[in-house]
Structure 1
Amino acid sequence: MDVDAYLDRLGVARPAAADLATLRHLQERHLATVPFENLSIHLGEHVVLAEDALFDKIVRRRRGGFCYELNGLFAALLRELGYRASLHAAQVFHADGTPGPPLDHAAIVVTLDEPWLVDVGFGRFSRYPLRLSGVDAQPDPDGEFLLLDAPHGDVDVLLDGKPQYRLERRPRPLSDFVPMAWWQSTSPESHFTRSLTCSRPTSQGRVTLSGDKLIETVDGVRNEVVLPTEAAIRTAYRVYFGISLNRLPTPPGESPLTPGALQPDTAVQ
């Protein structure tokens, strides 16, 4: 891995020590600069869980990704920097409070003097590492987190009292997530095939582009606008997320190999 290129992508100088302060800074910068997005699914691109492919996509092509991609590559960077970082599977909770299937999500555990939960691939989540062995509520700019013991030695992660996911204690290689990543990116039952999103936190809230809808939350106030043309949508991807696209992702429900529902622009804007 070209560590310096990855750090440059994050806007971070090479750290002097693999400590908690540096880990906090790296996680915050990763979330701020590398968006959570599922564009590949709607562009007809294969999701390849291999370090070189992820590096090419996220660092060289300055794209984002979803959990397996973002946390898979970030864990590799952390190991290159001297951290003890491992991937762990998680079950994402449904709205009714029941956990989803195994390997539904991939998160990172970094072991320093104690284990810390690190996650740059879950959309809205903690800006900073969470103490995995903590029993008290942990405040974060994005909410209050609570980590509770769960059956079989797992850990339930709650945000503002709402269960987010159930984390396994045992580590897994990135290759373990390949079958579920394939299902997530191809099944009509997958949330990712049924939705289109590109999102990242900001200093005052969050910005999300979902199809032609640009949603900005600033100090708790949500504002949504519909972008009228393909040019406006491409500009939003570039300005808000640093992503330059030759063509737009196809709206959910349509084949990414056929033209989307939006009409081409009649003038350059």
Structure 2
Amino acid sequence: MSDLNALFRKRIGLSENKRITFEDLDHILEKTAKSIPFENFRVIEKNANVITRENLVDKILIHSEGGLCYELNPLFYLFLRENGFQVVLARGIVYNHEQQRYPASGRTHITILLTHEDQTYVVDTGFGGNVPLKPVPLTGEMVASANGEFRIKQTPTEYGDYIFEMKLKHKDTDWKIGYAFDSRQPMTDVSACDVVRQIIVEHPESPFNKSPLITKRTDTGSVTLTETSFTQWENGQMTKEPIDGARFTELLRTHFGR
């Protein structure tokens, strides 16, 4: 077993000896979302390393940090590949609901396409509070998880051939666009994701180069920490607390072990 495979299993609390099947992925995606946070600290610190296998292992598995989609999904892609799954990476663009448009920063989302028994699925561990926690088939069939309902529609846009849609639990009453993506230009080298890192770090419209953010799933919902607020979802109930720098440090340690 490779260092990546062993370290990833250790990070999410999965047995080293367990052979992973497609049916195990729901459980593994849940464990991953609760163990590895979605965060932009390296971007804010201007210390975002280039995307390589070695850098992903060092940052997320050895130093126990989290990451953004261009880190989390490439790492999970490598983990899946080492466990015998047929996977590729794909680029997408996240819809901006406040502005009701796709952003000028372009295709800055990385996702995973997994093929199992002649069916292709989106597997996404890097979509922050919107992660589906289950493989989502490209057939349009809806899947439901602890985080809501998810589906993928074959819809041509200038950004690709499919749209990932979601209806988040306790938050959405109607379907909304998560992101458009292109299944026709698969990537198999994680270094190809580095162009996304560069855009996220440098582009003025990037939402992740302005202020710190960290979030992860919990057994009862989710926790999200920014420099000005702490938001907690527990069994469908949300609490939001305004915070200062000292409280930020305290909450970061308490909820994220940092």
Verify same fold: TM over 0.5: yes
Report the AA paired with residue 164 of structure 1: G
Choose from 134, 156, 172 the match for 2:163.
156
Give the structure 2 partner of residue 166 of structure 1: 180
Give the structure 2 partner of residue 70 of structure 1: 72
Choose from 98, 105, 109 the match for 1:105.
109
Work out whether residues 143 and 150 of structure 2, in 8 Å CA contact, stay in contact via their aligned partners in 1.
yes
Work out whether residues 28 and 127 of structure 1, in 8 Å CA contact, stay in contact via their aligned partners in 2.
no
Report the AA paired with residue 77 of structure 1: F
Q: Deviations over 1:218-264 (max 9, x none)?
A: 1222212233443x322321221122xxxxxxxxxxxxxxxxxxxxx
Partner of 2:248, secondary structure, is helix
Q: Give unpaired runs (5+ residues) of structure 2.
A: 168-174
Identity, in percent, stands at 26
Please tell me whether Structure 1 or Structure 2 has the larger radius of gyration of its CA atoms.
Answer: 1
TM-aligned CA deviation for residue 75 of structure 1: 0.5
Report the AA paired with residue 146 of structure 1: R
Partner of 1:151, secondary structure, is strand
Q: Deviations over 1:53-73 (max 9, x none)?
A: 111000111000000000011
Report the AA paired with residue 129 of structure 1: K
Greater strand fraction, Structure 1 or Structure 2: 2
Report the AA paired with residue 106 of structure 1: I
Correspondence list, 1:57-206, <5 A: 57-95=59-97, 96-100=99-103, 102-113=106-117, 114-151=119-156, 154-160=161-167, 161-170=175-184, 171-172=186-187, 173-206=189-222
- Compute the RMSD of aligned alpha carbons: 1.9
In 2, distance between residues paired with 1:46 and 1:142? 29
TM-aligned CA deviation for residue 126 of structure 1: 3.6
In 2, distance between residues paired with 1:37 and 1:110? 24
Report the TM-score when normalising by structure 1: 0.83
Give the structure 2 partner of residue 236 of structure 1: 251
CA spacing shift, 1:110–1:14, aligned 2, 3 Å = farther
Report the TM-score when normalising by structure 2: 0.86
